[in-house]
């Protein structure tokens, strides 16, 4: 059946700091054009667990 979807980490894969990584937008657009499902995730904590 092949790959149907992708999980993409945001920081360091799609953007770095405030800047889009070159080509990331085109890669995501191409995957969507091919009908692939994309889920974005991040492991960059903005708040501590104590909050």
Domain boundaries, the chain: 5-41
pTM given for the model: 0.74
Task: Report pLDDT digits (tens) over 1-51.
Answer: 688 899 999 988 899 988 999 999 999 999 999 999 999 988 776 666 665
Per this entry, what is the length of the chain? 51
C-alpha distances (whole Å) from 16 to each of 20, 24, 38, 41 are 6, 11, 19, 14
Residues 6+ apart with CB under 8 A from 12: 21
């Amino acid at each position: 059946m092949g790959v149907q979807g992708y999980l993409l980490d945001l920081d360091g894969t799609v953007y770095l700091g405030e800047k889009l990584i070159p080509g990331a937008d085109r890669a995501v657009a191409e995957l969507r054009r091919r009908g692939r499902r994309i889920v974005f995730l991040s492991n960059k904590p903005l708040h501590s667990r104590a909050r």
